[in-house]
């Protein structure tokens, strides 16, 4: 009886903790939503309540003047390219490293893993100068190449872990059936490793989508900018239009939130897998 009431108190405490952090997570976003329909004056007068004159003016501003739509498209384009190239190449390399028989596989893996310790900052100046030489500064290609190269260590780290636990029988059976290497990889190995590949895809996508530094350095034309860089530009440009910025921030956040609502299981598994499996 006594333990039960203590348990109950603990339960209430637990919910109290959880609920307050939930509020902390969600309220700022809700606050943005509320204020995105106000005018600057209304925001200064009362940042709490809803505005009596509901207006989507700020959203129109964000798209028309703030070019949020263009930034969004650029971000998506770069992220998809990085995703396609990065995930394909890293899963191929991981497979060769963890399953194929060659002397340097361990060394190669370690060389790849070394990259996990390299902060982007240690390579931006050389990349800047290299891309400058290759004349691809201020193109999406520059960002894509840099992001792809940067995604390999983590991706290979996760994927080699997954591939190494695939039972040998599967490969043996496939080879007995006369399956070629490419066919086996794309038709058998890739499908059975779907979860780990989605994991890698999600990490790669988010890292690319959210990155500020690389696109900030490589892309300088407004029509080519990604969302984070574009938002920075907006901040400099429309310093007094707070409500407009709020709308722009929301436009940036909302798609991520929607994707997250549908894919949160995969995203969470993905972002965590690397750490736990390691």
Q: Which of residues 241-270 bind another protein (CB under 8 A)?
A: 242, 245-246, 249, 252-253, 256-257, 260, 264, 267-268
CA 204, CA 150: separation in Å to the nearest integer? 9
- Count Cα atoms within 13 angstroms, Cβ side, for 17: 5
Looking at the Cβ atoms of 55 and 242, the one nearer to another protein is 242
Q: Is 33 in the site for another protein (CB under 8 A)?
A: no
> 158 near 112, Cβ under 8 Å?
no
Kindly tell me which of 30 and 56 has the beta carbon lying closer to another protein. 30
Per CB under 8 A, contacts with another protein among 213-232 are: 213, 216-217, 220-222, 227-229, 231-232
Which one of the spans 53-61, 76-84, 190-198, 237-245 is the region binding another protein (CB under 8 A)? 237-245
Binding window for another protein (CB under 8 A); candidates: 53-61, 76-84, 111-119, 186-194: 111-119
Nearer to another protein, 60 or 268 (CB): 268
**Which residues between 133 and 172 bind another protein (CB under 8 A)?**
133-135, 137-138, 145-146, 148-150, 152-153, 156, 171-172
Q: Decide: is 30 part of the binding site for another protein (CB under 8 A).
A: no
Cα–Cα distance, 164 to 172 (Å, whole number): 15
Q: Tell me how far, at minimum, the Cβ of 274 lies from another protein, in Å.
A: 9
Tell whether residue 34 is a contact of another protein (CB under 8 A): no
Regarding 81 and contact with another protein (CB under 8 A), the answer is: no
By CB under 8 A, is residue 50 in contact with another protein?
no
CB 247 within 8 A of CB 59: yes
Structure tokens at 255: 């798609």
Which positions from 171 through 210 interact with another protein, judged by CB under 8 A? 171-172, 175, 181-182, 185, 206, 209-210
State in angstroms the smallest separation of the CB of 28 from another protein.
6
* 39 counts as binding another protein under rule CB under 8 A: no
Closest separation in Å from C-beta 56 to another protein = 19
Q: Find the DSSP H helices in the chain.
A: 2-35, 40-45, 57-64, 68-99, 105-114, 124-133, 140-163, 168-176, 181-183, 190-192, 194-210, 213-218, 227-237, 242-277
Distance CA 112, CA 158 (A): 12
Residues 111, 106: Cα–Cα separation, whole Å: 9
Tell me how far, at minimum, the Cβ of 107 lies from another protein, in Å.
Answer: 10
**Which of 191, 156, 168 is CA-nearest to residue 278?**
156
* C-alpha neighbours within 13 Å on the C-beta side of residue 69: 6
């Amino acid at each position: 009886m006594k333990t039960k009431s203590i348990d109950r108190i603990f339960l209430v405490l637990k919910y109290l903790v959880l609920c307050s952090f939930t509020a902390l997570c969600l309220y700022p976003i809700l606050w943005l939503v509320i204020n995105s329909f106000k005018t600057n004056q209304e925001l200064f007068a009362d940042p709490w309540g809803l505005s009596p004159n509901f207006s989507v003016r700020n959203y129109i501003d964000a798209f028309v003047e703030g070019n949020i739509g263009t930034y969004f498209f650029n971000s998506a384009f770069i992220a998809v390219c990085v995703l396609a190239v990065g995930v394909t190449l890293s899963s191929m390399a991981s497979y060769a490293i963890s399953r194929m028989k060659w002397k340097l596989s361990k060394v190669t893996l370690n060389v790849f893993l070394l990259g996990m310790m390299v902060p982007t900052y240690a390579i931006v100046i050389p990349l800047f100068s290299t891309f400058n030489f290759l004349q691809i500064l201020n193109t999406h290609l520059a960002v894509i190449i840099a992001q792809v190269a940067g995604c390999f260590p983590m991706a290979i780290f996760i994927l080699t872990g997954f591939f190494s636990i695939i039972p040998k029988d599967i490969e043996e059976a496939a080879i007995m059936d006369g399956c070629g290497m490419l066919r086996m990889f794309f038709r058998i190995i890739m499908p059975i490793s779907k979860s780990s590949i989605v994991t890698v895809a999600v990490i790669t996508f988010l890292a690319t989508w959210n990155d500020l530094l690389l696109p900030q350095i490589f892309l300088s034309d407004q029509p080519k900018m990604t969302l984070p860089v574009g938002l920075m530009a907006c901040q400099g440009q429309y310093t007094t239009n707070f409500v407009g910025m709020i709308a722009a921030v929301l436009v940036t956040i909302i798609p991520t939130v929607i994707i997250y609502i549908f894919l949160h299981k995969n995203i969470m598994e993905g972002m965590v897998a690397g750490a736990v499996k390691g």
